[in-house]
Amino acid sequence: MKFFEKLTLLCIALIVMGSTLSPQSAFGITLQEEEELSREFIKVVLTHYEIIDDPLIVNYVNEVGNKIISALPPQPFSYHFYVIKEDVYNAFAIPAGHIFINSGLFEAMDSEEELAGILSHEIAHVVCRHISQKIERARTINMATLAGMAAGVLLGVAGGAAVANAITLGSVAAGQSMTLAYSREDERQADQIGLHIERKAGYNGKGLLDVLKKIRSKRWFDSNQIPTYLQTHPGAEERMAYIDTWLEKHKKTAAPMDPYNFERAHTRLVAVYGDKSTALTQFKAAVKKNPGNPLAHYGYGLVLERKGDYKAAVEQLKAALGKRAFDPYILKDLGLIYFNDGQYEQAFRILEGAAGIISNDPEILFYLGRTQIELGHLMDAAVTFEALIAKKYNYPRAFYFLSETYGKLGKLDDAHYNLGIYYEKKGDVKNAAFHLKKALEHMDDPNKRAVIENMLKDIKGKQIEKAKANK
């Protein structure tokens, strides 16, 4: 009941502040059902879209999102923020605190204020439990189908078509799918609450209005392709009028914000995940126009790396570091270029320096370990990969290369053990079972033996369930 009590108190507080949030918002599916729905939804998204798993970009978006979350009362779940590699302008939230933004919409932004505006609005949808309330009315449908329905609505026309091809909806589900769409009332509530928490987090609130104007401009520029965001979030004109009036009524000068972190993440997004030809032209011109800007050199170097011109890429990243010394992300990318070019001594020196500055980037440790393998520093490589795994990042490849390292060191027990874990994480239970059984033949460590035996029991159980399902 604590969850519902907290949400109810929040709703009351918002009503007192002038929000039209209805007390009905306090009711919907249970927290456990929200968690189950979110897992099924994420499966659908991963099937049809690529999630950008880039530490610089992901860490930055999560930092902004968590800054906004800090302005809320205690929440019953942890919020997670994702960037989908998709040019279509869209952002959406699903139950249990999972917020998605498309790379195309992020790329169109010019400031952290705009990102904060969109994230605050989506966080408000979660707080109000807008999707949860609607799903309450469709309890007769299983969670996997509900997740498919929600994905079809929130991902818009393009996403909905892809999902529909993969999920067969019954007549009842098909008839109810559109009831999951946001209403104009939902949007009004999310704007009201989003603006409030955004201001409380230290932003001025104007960012959402600015980004909505950009989305609307794209609609008029190409009337044949209405941005998905406008389809999933109705009433854009009304929303902009309301936000403009609200900002005029609640004038506030926010403290100056250092734009560097936004610009760095934005630069990497455009350079690495945007159109290569467009990015090359953009950053080449940026370097010529403003040679003193480290991020212009950074972006240009990343695009040159995509083209395979490692020598020119190194020069650009060195120029960036000359103007922004010890930026760990620029250091990391310089190290990766050296690694990909086979210059392992230089890669080791740079990556070791980056690892000493930043501790939450798994790629730095991963490529440092791989560089140590190439240099023949096998014991050091084992220590590096073990450190990466100890941080509990979802990084299966670390187990693969740790296995390779132990194999070269002649430690067959740990080699098979880690290779078994790698295959288990990849969903290849046959190879996982083979290597885990091999590890048992050599393993003396009682703790690892217990882990292996439990994993083999789980694998056997999954194989039995699969066999029953196929009958």
> Which percentage of the chain shows pLDDT scores above 70?
79
Distance CA(261)–CA(257), nearest Å, equals: 10
pLDDT at 389: 95
- Statement: residue 363 has pLDDT above 70: yes
Q: What is the pLDDT of residue 316?
A: 98
pLDDT score of 28:
57
Taken in order 54, 57, 60, 63, the sign of the CA dihedral is: negative
Q: Among 411, 339, 334, 413, which Cα is nearest to 372's?
A: 339
pLDDT for the residue numbered 15: 36
When pLDDT is averaged across residues 353-363 and rounded to a whole number, the result is 90
pLDDT digits (tens, 9 = 90+) for 237-257: 888 888 889 888 988 776 788
More confident residue, 310 or 12: 310
Instruction: State pLDDT tens for residues 198-231.
Output: 999 999 989 999 998 988 877 544 445 555 554 5
What pLDDT is stored for residue 40 in this prediction? Answer: 81
Integer Cα distance of 219 and 208 in angstroms: 17
pLDDT band at 71 (very low <50, low <70, confident <90, very high): very high
pLDDT at 171: 33
Residues near 371 by beta carbon (within 8 Å), at least 6 away in sequence? 335, 339, 344, 347, 348, 351
Tokens of 246: 């609200």
CA–CA dist 182, 193 (Å, integer): 15
Question: Do residues 4 and 26 touch, judged by C-beta distance below 8 A?
Answer: yes
What single-letter amino acid sits at 409? L
Per-residue pLDDT at 129 = 82
Around Cβ 385, how many Cβ atoms within 10 Å? 29
pLDDT at 232: 53
- What does the pLDDT look like over 110-121, one tens digit per residue? 999 999 999 999
pLDDT on residue 397: 95
Q: How far is CA 382 from CA 354, 404, 411, 417, in A?
A: 19, 9, 11, 14
**Beta-strand runs (E) in 119-178:** none
pLDDT digits over 179-188, tens only? 456 677 888 8
Q: Contact 177/152 with Cβ under 8 angstroms?
A: yes
Hey, which of 205-214, 345-354, 359-368 has the most confident mean pLDDT?
A: 345-354
Exposure on the CB side of residue 47, measured as CA atoms within 13 A: 18
pLDDT at 134: 66
Question: What is the average per-residue pLDDT within 347-370?
Answer: 93
Lowest mean pLDDT among 9-23, 63-77, 123-137: 9-23
Model confidence at 235, pLDDT cuts 50, 70, 90, reads low
| Contact predicate 317/334, CB 8 Å | yes
In the predicted model, what is the mean pLDDT of residues 125-143?
68
In this prediction, residues 18-28 reach a mean pLDDT of: 42
Looking at residues 361-367, what average pLDDT do you find?
94
42-63 pLDDT, tens digit per residue, is 888 888 889 999 999 999 999 9
pLDDT at 139: 53
Return the structure tokens found at 41: 């939804």
pLDDT computed for residue 181 by the predictor: 60
- pLDDT per residue over 258-305, tens digit each? 999 999 999 999 999 999 999 999 999 999 999 999 999 999 999 999
Position 92 pLDDT exceeds 70: yes
Q: Which residue has the tokens 């299966």?
A: 396
The pLDDT, as a whole number, for residue 465 is 79
pLDDT confidence of residue 156: 56
Chain segment 422-462, per-residue pLDDT in tens: 999 998 999 999 999 999 998 999 999 999 999 999 998 88
Query: What's the pLDDT at 296?
Result: 98
Predicted confidence (pLDDT) per residue in 156-189, tens digit: 544 444 444 443 333 333 334 444 566 778 888 8
What is the rounded average pLDDT of the residues 331-337?
A: 97
List C-alpha distances in Å: 188 to 19, 65, 249.
9, 21, 17
**297-327: per-residue pLDDT in tens?**
999 999 999 999 999 999 999 999 999 998 9
- DSSP 3-state helix, strand, coil percentages of the chain (rounded to 5)? 75, 5, 25
Q: pLDDT, tens digit, for every residue of 371-410?
A: 999 999 999 999 999 999 998 777 899 999 999 999 999 9
Q: Residue 128 and residue 118: Cα distance in Å, rounded?
A: 16
